[in-house]
A and B are shown apart, each in its own frame.
Chain A
Amino acid sequence: MNTVLFSAIIAAASVCAGFLGSLTGLGGGFLVTPVLTLLLGVDIRYAIGASLISIIATSSGAAAAYVREGFTNLRVGMLLEIATVMGALVGASLVTVLPTRVITVVFGLVLVQSAYLSGRQLVDHDTAGAPPDRLATRLKLDSTFPSAGGERRYRVRNVPGGFGLMGLAGLLSGLLGIGSGAVKVLAMDQVMRMPFKVSTATSNFMIGVTAAASAGIYLRHGYVDPGLAMPVMLGVLAGSMVGARLLFGTPTRRLRLLFAVVVAAIGLQMVYHGVAGRG
Chain B
Amino acid sequence: MASVAAPPPAHPVTRVQQAVGNLLRTGVLLAAAVVLAGGILYLARHGGAVADYSVFRGEPASLRSLAGVFRSSLVESGRGVIQLGLLILVATPVARVAFTAVAFAIERDRTYVLVALLVLSLLLKSLLG
Q: Which residues of A contact B (CB under 8 A)?
A: 1-7, 36, 40-43, 45-46, 53, 56-57, 60-70, 72, 74-75, 78-79, 81-82, 85-86, 89, 92, 100, 139-140, 144-146, 150-151, 208-209, 211-217, 219-231, 233-234, 237, 240-241, 244-245, 248
Known: A68-B4, A229-B35; 6 extra A-B contacts, CB below 8 A, are A7-B43, A70-B11, A212-B127, A216-B128, A220-B64, A221-B58
How many of chain B's residues touch chain A, expressed as a range?
35 or more
CA distance A225 to B116 in the complex (A): 30
Q: Which residues of A contact B4 (CB under 8 A)?
A: 64-65, 68-69
- Which B residue's beta carbon lies closest to that of A54? B89
Contact A213-B122, Cβ < 8 Å, known A3-B50, A56-B92, A230-B42: yes
- A226 and B63 form a contact (CB under 8 A): yes
- A74 and B17 form a contact (CB under 8 A): yes
CA distance A216 to B43 in the complex (A): 26
CA distance A211 to B11 in the complex (A): 29
- B128 and A60 form a contact (CB under 8 A): no
Secondary structure class of chain A's binding surface, majority of residues = helix
Contact A211-B51, Cβ < 8 Å, known A53-B86, A65-B2: no
CA distance A230 to B89 in the complex (A): 12
Q: Which residues of A contact B12 (CB under 8 A)?
A: 70
CA distance A150 to B57 in the complex (A): 56
- Which B residue's beta carbon lies closest to that of A243? B1
Instruction: State which residues 88-104 of B face A: CB under 8 Å.
Output: 89-94, 96-97, 100
Contact A248-B2, Cβ < 8 Å, known A67-B20, A224-B59: yes
Q: Which residues of A contact B83 (CB under 8 A)?
A: 224, 226
Q: List 27 A-B contacts (CB under 8 A).
A: A43-B56, A53-B86, A53-B90, A56-B89, A60-B24, A62-B1, A62-B2, A64-B24, A65-B2, A68-B17, A69-B9, A69-B13, A78-B116, A79-B112, A89-B122, A209-B94, A212-B126, A215-B127, A216-B129, A222-B59, A222-B64, A224-B59, A226-B83, A226-B86, A227-B51, A244-B1, A244-B2
